[in-house]
Chain A
Amino acid sequence: MSVLEIRDYSLDYVTRDGTYHVLQDIDLAIAEGEVLGLVGESGSGKTSLAWAIMRHLPGNARELKGTLRLGDTDLCAAGSRALETIRGRRMSMVFQDPSTALNPTLTLGRQVSEVLVRHRGLSEREAWREAERALEHVELRDVPALMKRYPHQASGGEKQRVVIATAFACRPELIVFDEPTTALDVITGARILELFARLRAETGVAALYISHDLALVARVADRVAILEQGRIVEEAPADRIFRAPTQPYTRRLVAAVPRPDRRLVADQPASQAVLAADAIAVRYDRREATRNVHLDIRRGEILGVVGESGSGKSSLARALTGLAAYSGTIALDGRPVGRMDRVYRRAVQIVFQHPDSSLNPRQTVQSILARPLRLYGGDVATIPALLEAVRLPAHYARRYPHQLSGGEKQRVAIARAFAAQPELVICDEITAPLDVSVQASVVELLLSLRRQNGTAYLFITHDLNLVQQVAHRIAVMKAGEVVDLLDIEDIGRGKMHPYTRELMAAAPLPVG
């Protein structure tokens, strides 16, 4: 018998602008002890399905037809009183961002023990002891002290472990994981996945694992279902979906997953440096974000910068673009840069991580692109050509950012950087918030712009597979310092820094 059974389920959202079909004719079943991976791009309805299972849908949701069954319980028919005993007891959820999933005003111990008091009827003291055991079980150190701490006093990885311990606390039949490692950095995420594999083997819990990352899901799940715009287009065992996808959509998804062995750049950069940074240190108040960073970027080179969050990657980008005060020297084309003048600002451009916030929502694409052109002596008449270069139709000039998709916004941001005809473009995690297929096309666009203009890139990312596809050299940052700087050919050879090796090992390799 299956733990979760979804039959012919359809869901609509009713908004003022009309009705959206979010989920259509969903058929899914999860057997005992099975992990089903659910993969889809943003807007495919995967999170809506999770909330439908948890019975926590927004007020404008309309369930058209179909059934949701947990064991022998009909979830659609369960009233709010019945759901209170089902949620947390028979099924629970692990959220994407542990920093918002925990209540900031309760201690970590309280959040775990509360579930035990509520669902297992333990007394406060028993629950506290049981919570201690649960937290030790998720490999947290110094649990008694940790339980007295508040969420903001714990790291992201620790918090996610607490959330997972809470989810497992009542031995539920089903756990829904909604992108549990996306908000964490690579190494922490890899540890969480190891923990999940262990807990799963011990408890034999059934799980629905939702993610946009096909490579990751294929490693975690037994079976994978692909969701495209509210429909399940393919469902297959995890090892098969990567090797032999049958549907065109799945094939496109698989093709878009970055593989380190498939290089996208063949040429070699010139040997002279376009930008040389010497002993760059950035301080915020008393905290050192980076210290003593030496880097030189050669003409036309793609220099990858990798590292965990908080390793100083973005601070380096901010220093190089004059957004953060720094000490040390920067030289452009061999000449030291004293003040950030117009020549330097034109030559070094930056593209930011979040396409939603990097374009002014009150300006049209036309005025967004016209600004750098006016500033650096370009011609506003070249805007259609500029849009064409980033593969957007010329009439997009009249649009506002909210009328564009995430990938289109990022293209406009790239066009804005290239309007200055720069020699170096700093790409600060620009593909991170994009879907895999969009990400692939943005990377491809960057490479073709580089072929045309000979631009160098400082490519900051945490995606190790992607960086191995495009970079000539990789700088590895840890705690504000560059610990390793190696040519792409040297990866996997002997002289790698131990930390680099650890990072590489944590990156989920695509199977097959």
Chain B
Amino acid sequence: MTDTGRRLLRTPQGVLGLALLAALLLLCLFGGALAPYQPEAMDFAGRFAAPGARHWFGADQLGRDVLSRLLVGARSTVPLAVGATFSGAALGACLGTLSAYLGGRWDEAITRTIDAVMAVPHLLLALILVSTLGKGSLNASFAIAIAVVPSMARVTRSVALVVRRQEYVQAAIARGESGGWIVVAEMLPNVAAPVIIEATIRVAFAVMLFATLSFLGLGAQPPASEWGLMVSEARRFMHQAPWVIVAPSLAIAATAICFNLLGDGLRDALNPRDER
């Protein structure tokens, strides 16, 4: 793993991605402490205050400091998106590997089911799930996790099909190992690299999907300072005070870019054969 880290630091995307990730982590951990104001402190005299010395990123329609809301909101945006993606990816990876290992009818059944779920657009799927389960951040992240599963299962299955034919898997079967052990101990570690890369890139989608759900009023609920919700609330005042919508939009974009870069860097770092 230290090897991977060193190789990651050798690619420009990796360095930039890691730097942004570190910044995001700091925001999530200490965002509340760094905020100059309370995120919900209203100041009617300072409504729509332009960015300046008092409010670096300006103030919104209720006079709340945008910077403070952003800093505090990181915690309710990023961890949920990351958690949703990685739990969905883990489930998808297990499903894909199992499908490749079992082969034949089972493979057919699992893949077709996945295809059927995939046919429903992510947003629509998430909308259906959230409207059945009820509004809220946790339900939204659950919906995102489910939305990630099919494509991750597909990616994993294609890699696992190659691994399935490798002689060490054949050796394990010939040795009389149980199916569960072969999937978990022999195959999963060998399909992990592409899964991690794919999952990292999917985090960006998850952040945006989460923001979309909040924007539609199905994710985080006011007065929370989740970034997607901030964009949604600021939309009405876009022409009056553009900074209120620009700041959270940029934050979402930066997060997406961070994970995309990280995914690109990891793709190179986890592929040691590509040494040249």
Closest to A401 in B: B168
The B-contacting residues of A in range 337-382, CB under 8 angstroms, are 340-342, 345, 349-350, 352-354, 357-363, 371-372, 375
The A-contacting residues of B in range 145-185, CB under 8 angstroms, are 166-168, 170-177
Tell me if A350 and B176 are in contact (CB < 8 A). Answer: no
A416 interfacial by beta-carbon distance below 8 Å: yes
Our pick among B167, B174, B176 for the contact of A357 (Cβ within 8 Å) is B167
Which chain A residues have a beta carbon within 8 Å of chain B's beta carbons?
15-17, 58-60, 321-323, 340-342, 345, 349-350, 352-354, 357-363, 371-372, 375, 402, 413, 416, 420
A353 to B170, CA, bound (A): 12
Chain B residues within an 8 Å CB radius of A420: 175
Which chain B residues have a beta carbon within 8 Å of chain A's beta carbons?
10, 166-168, 170-177, 186, 189-190, 272, 275-276
Our pick among A323, A362, A371, A372 for the contact of B190 (Cβ within 8 Å) is A362
Q: State how many angstroms separate the Cβ of B235 from the closest Cβ of chain A.
A: 49
Chain A residues within an 8 Å CB radius of B174: 321-323, 345, 349-350
A81 to B253, CA, bound (A): 47
On whether A17 and B176 interact (CB within 8 A), knowing A360-B186, A362-B189, the answer reads: no
Closest to A349 in B: B174
Chain A residues within an 8 Å CB radius of B190: 360-362
Q: Show 20 A/B contacts (Cβ-Cβ < 8 Å), sorted by A.
A: A15-B275, A16-B10, A323-B170, A323-B173, A323-B174, A341-B176, A342-B176, A345-B174, A345-B175, A345-B176, A350-B171, A354-B167, A357-B166, A358-B170, A360-B189, A363-B189, A371-B172, A371-B177, A372-B175, A413-B171
Chain A residues within an 8 Å CB radius of B167: 352-354, 357-358
Chain A residues within an 8 Å CB radius of B171: 350, 352, 358, 413, 416
Q: State how many angstroms separate the Cβ of B205 from the closest Cβ of chain A.
A: 28
A136 to B144, CA, bound (A): 63
Chain B residues within an 8 Å CB radius of A59: 276
Chain B residues within an 8 Å CB radius of A15: 275-276
Q: State how many angstroms separate the Cβ of B165 from the closest Cβ of chain A.
A: 9
Q: State how many angstroms separate the Cβ of B164 from the closest Cβ of chain A.
A: 12
Q: State how many angstroms separate the Cβ of B173 from the closest Cβ of chain A.
A: 6
Chain A residues within an 8 Å CB radius of B173: 322-323
Tell me if B168 and A360 are in contact (CB < 8 A). Answer: yes
Chain B residues within an 8 Å CB radius of A322: 173-174, 176
Closest to A353 in B: B167
Tell me if A371 and B176 are in contact (CB < 8 A). Answer: no
